[in-house]
A and B are shown apart, each in its own frame.
Chain A
Amino acid sequence: MDAPYAIEMVNITKRFPGIIANDNITLQLKRGEIHALLGENGAGKSTLMSVLFGLYQAEEGVIKKDGKEVKINNPNDANDLGIGMVHQHFKLVQCFTVLENIILGVESTKNGILQMDEAREKVKALSEKYGLQVDPDAKIEDITVGMQQRTEILKMLFRDNEILIFDEPTAVLTPQEIEELMEIMKNLRAEGKSILFITHKLNEIKAVADRVTVLRRGKYIGTVDVATTSKEEMSRMMVGRDVNMVVDKEPAKPGDVILKVENMTVASKLHSNNAVKNVSFEVHESEIVCIAGIDGNGQTEFVYGLTGMEPLVDGKITLCGEDITKESIRKRSRLLSHIPEDRHKHGLVLDYPLEYNMVLQRYWQPEFTSKAGFLKRPEIRAYSERLEAEHDVRSGQGPITIARAMSGGNQQKAIIAREIDKDHKLLVAVQPTRGLDVGAIEGVHRNLIKERDNGRAVLLISLELEEVMNVPDRILVMYEGEIVGELDPKKTTVEELGLYMAGAKRNVFIDGNTPEIEESEVVDNVREGRDA
């Protein structure tokens, strides 16, 4: 008789110097189920998966496949056992086609010549079977993130993997793509594949998973059936306390204008069109304004233009009454704090210790640099320790921890601590909760609202619908580089917001005037235009 579990990890313990990353964790994946692995950042999910994938060896515990104990010493062993993984950051060759990426490493050749036809047939059959639409001859660099992910899934299927690991697969997808992915996962389950789904999004677990195993700070908390467990219960298991799912806040009392953007236009690096077109709006003190939109609609370029990282093609930026259109990044940073979209690329010098990262935006100030140009190391150390304590930034060795060695959530906390603590009137927060878990997201939102209540202007750029609906006082929707709508989060619905984000509706026009037509009419017009 077959054992009921496709893969079992029993009593796994994995230690690193100074920390137990996995403390006696058991994970049992049934055949043909979607099993979610839930935990905060740093809870040990990645370590556990690395053990399963052969990247780390556990000190204690055993791994069983179909009830038989197996040794996984390296990723090749994992592959041989039919374990495949879609990594959070895809491992695809950008200038190769979809098909070339899929066969990479398992190419069949005849006299040294690649045999593509067979592979093409197999890929075609697989994509039909599981509803994975991709164009096998499209180059990776030309296709959407969602399609790239489908390529990764096909890669696993092409290798006849039975156990599929998805590492936070929805972090990079649009709401529509997420829904499609959920369907694909259900199809895979129906075909008897076993899926491990690493996530911290409770909605998604509710939507597809059968069971969920929860980890917290390296410890095993429990495994429960999703159908009979509420989201609140799951988040309590994950965080260890009750989490406030709804953002508490008083109504905004906007004051003077802090930021005024007039006709801002920014060039695109990808194509010859402008990425940001003629954008105008204001942000007042004690107000959170959110720029919502699907990824890639000019938000990134807008922030670059606003913070001075890219020059404007046209337009004017006024901050606290000062024209800063042509000012340097350093000059702008006197009044402007910036939580960047990509914390690894921009937010941190990963090879610097935490303390040096904590002063990245202020190291030149007399507080940290003497008149002769020497760094004041004790002051930097003390400052870092204070921020770490105030913002609960956890790290292995405190201020001297190399930033690269910290978990993503704590890296983000460090950046937020740094940006909030420095002098500023305007906080630009670009996807500040990206890749964070429920507990950490709550903290970030609380911080944003505290900023507002302290009289700062907050400009939030977000892709998360829940965040867009709950945190800001005003929503601006960006579509193809233009602001197409201004909405009141209290009066709008997710569905309406979705229409604006998809470009099917607009209530702001280039001249900045709200039109005199009924909104529904516009929608109808646009829809008709599309259908026609």
Chain B
Amino acid sequence: MKEKNLLKNPSFQAILTSLVCIVLGLLIGFVVLLMINPAGAGEAIKTILLNFLTRASAAAQMKALGNTLAKTAPLLMCALSICFCYKVGLFNIGAPGQYEAGACIGLYAALAWHCNWVICLILAAIAGAIVGAISGTLKAYRNVNEVISGIMLNWIMLYMTNMILSRKAVKDPASPYTIKLASGNKGALIPSAGLNKLFANNTTVTIAIPLAILFAILIWVILSKTKFGYELRATGFNKEAAKYAGMKEKQNIIVTLAIGGALAGIGAAFLFLTGYQEWSTTQTSVPGMGFNGIAATFLGGLHPIGTIFASFFIQSITDGGALINKSVYPSQISDLISSIIIYLCGFVLFFKFALNNWIKKKEKKEVSKVEGAAVKAEGGDK
């Protein structure tokens, strides 16, 4: 009986279905590896899964883990952006655009205006929020689908960011990248507060990581415990009922996408203000961070806390994929495997549905069994 109750528990279900996706994704990935070269397939899949654990020394392992964590923080912020909007009934596929805006203003403030990291972070959040609010306003007042306006803004923001970050004050004249923060403005680097010591002096490990986790908890609290969250979710479920109850449903849509935008903007700051990498002003594709956030959201069971683990997992297999033996497998294989898993994350809801159906069927059988027994016990009382 207990076991069945556990199966019915929605949180347990969410975790179970996510695990099913991961296992299936790995299986399919494994098959692909087998088809290319059966000999190294086992080794390759192990590398993807173990990621940093494949490093030789403990110190190297910690350093690699630090790198994965440093990239998990921005991914988590993007996932939170999408998760938050999704709970309000909006699909924020514009997260990459908001992320770009955050990177643009965050880096520009750091390098051109020499702001310190707190100011840069806040400006990045504001930039993301403005881009989100554009989609929100169009949705609220002109009923423009946020997916359409979001995708278009992704491209608009990409080229605007390339343009703005190509200016003399921020771009390294010798490369297509922006100036390294370490040389341009040390004060804009997010402080590590000693965390780097835990990861073999990996300087990209900063307080961005715990901050991102705090944001996840904050989003969860806002959505489930506050009046604000009550209103936003009501608006997401039923705009008309929200209006009837005197909520400002249009304003709620704008505010939601603005908050989503701010989260994505902060996500960008969490990557570029750690000095992990610089913005390439010649890139012609929308950064994958925002899109991977969609996968992390679904794999995390659409729960802010779940996305913490999902983000780490997705970042870990992505990094692990980069370590596969490139002489045996083409270099694209790592991306392929992680994208298969990410793709299957989209099936989380489907697996949940299938699980519930299975439980229902089983229950039906048991109820009739139990009742049959009861009738016998009563001696056909009725």
Contacts and interface: CB of A to CB of B under 8 A. Distances in A.
B367 A333 contact: no
Interface stretch (A120-128, A254-262, A356-364): A356-364
A330 interface: yes
Contact of B226 (A17, A329, A330, A375): A375
Contacts of A329: 243-246
Given A59-B364, A361-B246, A375 B230 contact: yes
Given A349-B234, A349-B238, A352-B237, A374 B226 contact: yes
A201 interface: no
A60 B364 CA distance: 11
Given A340-B244, A347-B244, A375 B225 contact: yes
Contacts of A346: 240-241, 243-244
A413 B62 CA distance: 61
Interface in B214-253: 225-228, 230, 233-234, 237-238, 240-247
Indicate the member of B225, B233, B241, B368 with the most A CB atoms within 10 Å.
B241
Given A347-B241, A349-B241, A350-B238, A15 B367 contact: yes
B246 A59 contact: no
Contacts of B247: 330
Interface in A1-40: 15, 17
Contacts of B228: 373
B367 A373 contact: no
B363 interface: yes
A424 to B, nearest CB: 13
A211 interface: no
A390 to B, nearest CB: 21
Contacts of A374: 225-227
A328 B246 contact: yes
Contact of A364 (B227, B238, B243): B227
Nearest to B234: A349
A412 to B, nearest CB: 14
A333 B245 CA distance: 8
Interface string A357-396: 0001101100001000111010000000000000000000
Contacts of A307: 244
Contact of B246 (A330, A347, A351): A330
Interface in B49-99: none
A466 B363 CA distance: 46
A338 interface: yes
B226 A373 contact: yes
Interface residues of B, number: 21
Contacts of A331: 246
A181 interface: no
A373 B240 contact: no
Indicate the member of B225, B227, B234, B368 with the most A CB atoms within 10 Å.
B227
A237 interface: no
Nearest to B361: A57
Contacts of A349: 234, 237-238, 241-242
Contacts of A243: none
Contacts of A328: 246
Nearest to B221: A374
B34 to A, nearest CB: 40
Interface in A59-102: 59-60
A356 B246 contact: no
A29 B68 CA distance: 69
B375 to A, nearest CB: 11
Contact of A373 (B227, B242, B243, B246): B227
A345 interface: yes
Nearest to A338: B244
Interface string A326-348: 00111111000010100001111
B283 to A, nearest CB: 40
Interface string A306-321: 0101000000000000
A348 B245 CA distance: 9
A502 to B, nearest CB: 31
Nearest to B222: A373
A371 B356 CA distance: 40
Nearest to B225: A374
Contacts of A369: 227
Indicate the member of B226, B238, B364 with the most A CB atoms within 10 Å.
B238
A361 B242 CA distance: 10
B237 A361 contact: no
Contact of B243 (A309, A352, A356): A309
B246 A352 contact: no
Contacts of B364: 15, 59
A352 B223 CA distance: 13
Interface string A113-144: 00000000000000000000000000000000
B234 A352 contact: yes
Given A15-B367, A328-B246, A348 B230 contact: no
Contacts of B245: 329, 360-361
A198 B197 CA distance: 74
B362 to A, nearest CB: 12
A374 B225 CA distance: 6
A340 B240 CA distance: 11
A345 B367 CA distance: 36
Given A59-B364, A330-B246, A361-B246, A348 B226 contact: no
B104 to A, nearest CB: 32
Contacts of B363: 17
Contacts of A309: 243-244
B340 to A, nearest CB: 32
Nearest to A333: B246
A360 B240 CA distance: 13
A12 to B, nearest CB: 14
12 contacts: A15-B364, A17-B363, A59-B368, A60-B368, A329-B243, A330-B247, A332-B246, A345-B238, A349-B237, A363-B227, A364-B227, A377-B225
Q: 7 shortest A-B CB distances, which residue pairs? A: A330-B246, A329-B246, A346-B244, A369-B227, A351-B237, A360-B245, A349-B238
Given A307-B244, A348-B241, A375-B227, 18 more contacts: A15-B364, A17-B363, A60-B368, A329-B244, A338-B244, A346-B240, A346-B241, A347-B244, A349-B238, A349-B242, A351-B238, A352-B237, A360-B234, A361-B245, A363-B227, A374-B227, A375-B225, A377-B225
